[in-house]
């Protein structure tokens, strides 16, 4: 990232709705498909390491307590940022197809008119919003910008959305249980939350700020197939078909709008495609070196990927000591595009950062394999 100026994260916030939900209580909130407990739940939870998460659902009534836009707006309010010049909001699951997510967030906030942009995708949507905000500040087009990442994944995880397909394909599901697993396993992986950053052209007057040194986002879609998706499905010939190519009755019978994932492809490709290739680029073009990193903040969808990621880093001569890793997956869950905001907010407020610390953030996306790396430096006002 090159520019005429600098950009600093001068404020961080996060918002997680309602009380945390423990592993044994998930189906009480999301429901049981066809009235039966999931056979995948315990296996997935044992591997992903998540112990609690949050849902924007009232467990007593089953009613939603927040929209996606409302989650983002609440995180942004906690910044106490006033009126920004730019509002950039990323999410993978907006409340509606149109209008855009960011204008709905703007409407929730009721702040004065400003430039508004929505970034789409999956987990990379949030860091893409942050990059837009940072570039606007660096280019001198905005003195103050706000970026957010938010998810209300629970809206697509409710049992009632899966039941029409379960009834329609009962025979096939009995013979091929992996069909159900590829959709059901995500119900134990995803949860709700939002985070926001205030980005300005100078560090805050007191305390630490985070200078945005660079953000690299690299898609591998030129060579990789679709892996994680919603609003479409893979045809028998491997071609991806969007929702408009299906009849209305097929939308429910095939759970077209539910989030799905090719688990086998994910395990084979995720580390190399989303971390290895962006890392090689950053080392060659930016001189990135492991010994220059004080904190490594990976967005991991599951603790299952910690060891493969660490092994890959060691094999690439880029090992970072375990005590330098920081994640809150166990207690905050996998909140998709909001995760890096929520992780960084917790570290920023922990009192553990010192001026001069260098942070490397990693955000993978398995949609069609996009990897994002962000380098930050903690500075005080004098720095």
Q: In which band, very low, low, confident or very high, does the pLDDT at 4 lie, cut at 50, 70 and 90?
A: low
pLDDT reported for residue 42: 87
Distances 177 to 171, 181, 351 between C-alpha atoms, Å: 10, 6, 47
| Average predicted confidence (pLDDT) for the chain | 93
End-to-end CA distance of the chain: 21
Q: Cα–Cα distance between 275 and 298 in angstroms, integer?
A: 10
175 pLDDT higher than 70: no
Render pLDDT for 191-248 as a digit per residue (tens, 0 to 9).
999 999 999 999 999 999 999 999 999 999 999 999 999 999 998 888 999 999 999 9
Match 């949860």 to its residue by tokens: 191
pLDDT reported for residue 184: 73
Mean per-residue pLDDT, 140-164: 91
Which domains, ranges and CATH numbers included, belong to the chain?
8-207 (3.40.47.10), 211-225+259-379 (3.40.47.10)
pLDDT reported for residue 298: 98
Least confident range of 14-23, 99-108, 170-179, 302-311: 170-179
1 pLDDT higher than 60: no
When comparing pLDDT for 263 and 353, which is higher? 353
Q: Cα–Cα distance between 14 and 279 in angstroms, integer?
A: 28
291 by DSSP, 3-state: which?
helix
Beta strand ranges found along 114-208 (DSSP E): 115-119, 144-152, 192-200
pLDDT reported for residue 106: 98
Contact 198, 9 (CB under 8 A): yes
Q: In which band, very low, low, confident or very high, does the pLDDT at 169 lie, cut at 50, 70 and 90?
A: very low
Note the residue count of the chain.
Answer: 383
Tokens coding 327: 């994640």
Render pLDDT for 74-123 as a digit per residue (tens, 0 to 9).
999 999 999 999 999 999 999 999 999 999 999 999 999 999 999 999 99
39 pLDDT higher than 90: no
Q: Cα–Cα distance between 260 and 301 in angstroms, integer?
A: 14
Mean per-residue pLDDT, 126-140: 98
Q: Cα–Cα distance between 260 and 82 in angstroms, integer?
A: 39
173 pLDDT higher than 50: no
pLDDT reported for residue 3: 44
> Could you give phi then psi for residue 120, rounded to 5 degrees?
-105, 180
pLDDT reported for residue 164: 58
When comparing pLDDT for 323 and 165, which is higher? 323
374 pLDDT higher than 70: yes
308 pLDDT higher than 90: yes
**What residues have CB less than 8 Å from 111, skipping those under 6 apart?**
82, 83, 84, 87
20 pLDDT higher than 80: yes
Residue 328 burial by Cβ neighbours in a 10 Å radius (0-12, 13-18, 19+) = middle
362 pLDDT higher than 90: yes
pLDDT reported for residue 161: 79
Residue 205 burial by Cβ neighbours in a 10 Å radius (0-12, 13-18, 19+) = exposed
165 pLDDT higher than 90: no
pLDDT reported for residue 251: 93
């Amino acid at each position: 990232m090159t520019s005429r100026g600098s950009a600093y994260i001068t404020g961080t916030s996060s918002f997680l709705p309602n009380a945390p939900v423990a592993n044994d209580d998930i189906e009480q909130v999301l429901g049981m498909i066809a009235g039966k407990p999931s056979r995948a739940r315990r296996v997935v939870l044992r591997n992903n390491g998540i112990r609690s998460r949050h849902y924007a659902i009232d467990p007593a009534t089953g009613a939603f307590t927040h929209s996606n836009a409302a989650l983002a707006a609440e995180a942004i309010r906690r910044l106490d940022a006033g009126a920004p010049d730019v509002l950039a909001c990323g999410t993978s699951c907006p409340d509606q197809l149109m209008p855009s997510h960011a204008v709905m967030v703007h409407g929730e906030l009721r702040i004065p008119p400003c430039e508004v942009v929505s970034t789409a995708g999956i987990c990379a949507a949030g860091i893409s919003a942050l990059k837009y905000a940072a570039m606007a500040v660096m280019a001198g087009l905005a003195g103050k910008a706000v970026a957010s990442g938010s998810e209300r994944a629970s809206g697509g995880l409710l049992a009632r959305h899966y039941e029409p397909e379960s009834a329609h394909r009962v025979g096939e599901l009995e013979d091929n249980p992996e069909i159900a697993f590829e959709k059901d396993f995500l119900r134990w992986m995803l949860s709700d939350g939002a985070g926001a950053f205030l980005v300005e052209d100078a560090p805050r007057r007191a305390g630490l700020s985070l200078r945005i040194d660079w953000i690299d986002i690299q898609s591998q879609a030129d060579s990789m197939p679709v892996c994680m998706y919603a609003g479409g499905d893979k045809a028998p010939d491997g071609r991806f078909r969007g929702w408009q190519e299906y009849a209305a009755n097929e939308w429910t019978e095939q759970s077209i709008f539910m989030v799905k994932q090719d688990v086998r492809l994910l395990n084979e490709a995720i580390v190399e495609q989303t971390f290895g290739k962006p890392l090689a680029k950053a080392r060659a073009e930016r001189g990135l070196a492991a010994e220059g990193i004080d904190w490594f903040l990976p967005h991991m969808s599951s603790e299952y990927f910690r060891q493969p990621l660490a092994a890959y880093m060691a094999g690439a001569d880029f090992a970072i000591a375990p005590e330098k890793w920081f994640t809150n997956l166990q207690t905050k869950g996998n909140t998709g595009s909001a995760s890096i905001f929520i992780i960084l907010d917790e570290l920023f407020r922990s009192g553990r950062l010192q001026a001069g610390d260098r942070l490397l953030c990693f955000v993978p996306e398995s949609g069609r394999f996009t990897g994002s790396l962000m380098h930050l430096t903690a500075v005080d006002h004098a720095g």
